[in-house]
């Protein structure tokens, strides 16, 4: 059956994009280019529940869900000197961090 690189989930339809890391990189590049050109608006979610809530409110039409890499896949990629696309290995904290307001010049 093969791996699925992405799933495109809407209220009425679900589409899948077969493949693995290389296909994820290709799709991510196309989406980023379309976003830069103003053809689509990309919103990154940490939790699928947040995306589902926004879809329920009609604020978004589709959600791209990417297969999360396993620890072994990450280690293999690192050994080859490669990197994942931005936000691929994003972590979700089980809490909301405190907001700290510090002027940039105070950090140096």
The domain spans of the chain are 4-103
Predicted TM-score (pTM) of the model is 0.57
Q: Which CATH architecture has domain 4-103?
A: 2-Layer Sandwich (3.30)
Q: Express each pLDDT in 44-83 by its tens digit.
A: 887 888 999 999 999 999 888 887 777 888 888 889 888 7
Q: Express each pLDDT in 6-48 by its tens digit.
A: 888 898 899 988 887 778 778 888 888 999 999 988 888 878 8
DSSP line for 18-66: E--HHHHHHHHHHHHHHHHTTSS-----S-HHHHHHHHHTTS-SEEEEE
Residue 19, token pair as written in the block? 């493949």
């Amino acid at each position: 059956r093969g791996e699925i690189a992405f799933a495109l989930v809407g209220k009425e339809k679900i589409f899948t994009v077969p493949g693995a890391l290389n296909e994820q990189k290709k799709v991510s590049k196309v989406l980023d280019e379309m976003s830069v050109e103003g053809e689509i608006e990309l919103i990154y979610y940490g939790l699928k529940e947040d995306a589902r809530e926004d879809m329920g409110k009609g604020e978004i039409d589709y959600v791209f869900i990417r297969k999360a890499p396993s620890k072994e896949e990450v280690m293999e990629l690192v050994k080859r000197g490669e990197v994942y696309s931005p936000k691929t290995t994003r972590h979700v904290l089980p809490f909301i961090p405190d907001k700290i307001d510090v002027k940039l010049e105070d950090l140096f």
